[in-house]
Chains A and B, each alone.
Chain A
Amino acid sequence: MSGAFQPFSTTDDQGRLVGFDADIATELARRLDRPAELVQVDWAGIQAALQLGKVDLICGSMAITDERQETMQFSLPYYVSGAQVFARRGTASLDGARLGVTEDSTYATYVHEHPADFPGVEILRYGSEAEIIAALGTDKVDAFVSDRIVGGFYIHKAGTDDIEAQGDLLYREACGIAARKSDTALVEAVNRALLDMIQDGTYAQIYRRWVGSPPALDVLLSSWSDHVGLLPQARPAADAAPEKAAPQFADRVGQMLPLLVEGAGWTLLLSLLTALLSLVTGTFIGLLSISRRAALARLAQLYVWLVRGTPLLVQLFIAYFAVATFFNRLFGAEVMGPFGAALFALVANTTAYNAETVRGGILAVDDGQWDAAAALGMSRGLTLRRIILPQALRAALPSFGNNLVVLVKDTSLVGAITLIELSYAARNVVFQTGQALLPFLLAAAFYVVIIGTLSLAVSRLERRTDGDSP
Chain B
Amino acid sequence: MTGPVVLEARGLQKRFGDTPVLQDFSLAVPERQIVALIGKSGAGKSTALRCLNLLERPDAGTLLVDGQTVPTTLTGKALSAHRANVGMVFQHLHLFGHLSALDNIVEAPVHVLGQPRAEAEARARDLLAQVGLQDRAGARVQALSGGQRQRVAIARALCMAPRVLLLDEVTSALDVENIADLQALLHELSDAGTTMVMVTHDLAFVRDGAHRICFMDGGAIIEDGPAHQLLDAPQSERLQAFLGAAGR
Mark A residues whose CB is within 8 Å of B. 366, 368-369, 371-379, 382, 386-387, 390-391, 394, 465, 467-470
Q: Which of A376, A386, A465, A469 has the most B CB atoms < 10 Å from its CB?
A: A376
In the bound complex, how far is the Cα of B141 from the Cα of A470, in angstroms?
10
B143 and A470 contact, CB distance less than 8 A: yes
A-B pairs under 8 A by CB, number:
75
**Which of B83, B111, B140, B142 gathers most chain A CB within 10 Å?**
B111
**Least Cβ–Cβ distance between B72 and chain A, in angstroms:** 15
Please report the C-alpha to C-alpha distance between residue A171 and residue B204 in the assembled complex, in whole angstroms: 102
- Which residue of the partner chain, among A372, A375, A391, A470, contacts B98 with CB atoms under 8 Å? A391
0/1 string, B104-126, CB within 8 A of A gives 1: 00011001100000000000000
- Contact present for A469 and B142 (CB under 8 Å): yes
Q: DSSP class of A's interface residues: helix, strand, loop or mixed?
A: helix
Known contacts A366-B94, A375-B53; A468 and B140 CB within 8 A of each other: yes
Q: List residues of B whose CB falls within 8 A of some A CB.
A: 53, 55, 76, 79-84, 87-88, 90, 92-98, 107-108, 111-112, 139-140, 142-143, 156-157, 160
| CA of A470 to CA of B149, assembled, Å | 14
A376 near B83: Cβ-Cβ < 8 Å: yes
* Given A366-B94, A368-B94, A391-B98, A376 contacting B143 (CB threshold 8 A): no
Contact status A376-B81, CB under 8 Å: no
| A377, A382, A390, A394 — most chain B CB neighbours (10 Å) | A377
On whether A376 and B84 interact (CB within 8 A), knowing A371-B90, A469-B140, the answer reads yes
A-B pairs with beta carbons under 8 Å apart, 11 shown: A368-B92, A372-B94, A372-B95, A374-B55, A377-B108, A378-B108, A391-B96, A391-B98, A394-B98, A468-B143, A470-B143
CB contacts (< 8 Å) of B81 on chain A: these are 377
A376 and B112 contact, CB distance less than 8 A: yes
Q: Are A378 and B111 in contact (CB under 8 A)?
A: yes
Q: How far is the CB of B150 from chain A (nearest CB, A)?
A: 13
Residue in B87, B97, B139 whose CB lies within 8 Å of A375? B87
Which chain A positions have C-beta within 8 A of B83? 374-377
**Inter-chain contact B92/A376, CB cutoff 8 Å:** no
Specify the chain A residue showing the minimal Cβ separation from B142: A469
Please indicate the chain B residues that have their CB under 8 angstroms from the CB of A469 in the complex: 140, 142-143
B90 touches A368 (CB 8 A): yes
Provide the residues of chain B in CB contact with A374, threshold 8 Å.
55, 83
When the two chains form their complex, are residues B88 and A375 in contact, meaning their CB atoms are under 8 A apart?
A: yes
Across the interface, name the chain A residue whose C-beta is closest to B81.
A377
Given pairs A375-B55, A467-B142, A468-B143, 13 additional interface contacts (CB within 8 A): A368-B90, A372-B94, A375-B53, A375-B90, A376-B107, A376-B160, A377-B80, A378-B80, A378-B111, A379-B80, A386-B107, A391-B97, A468-B139
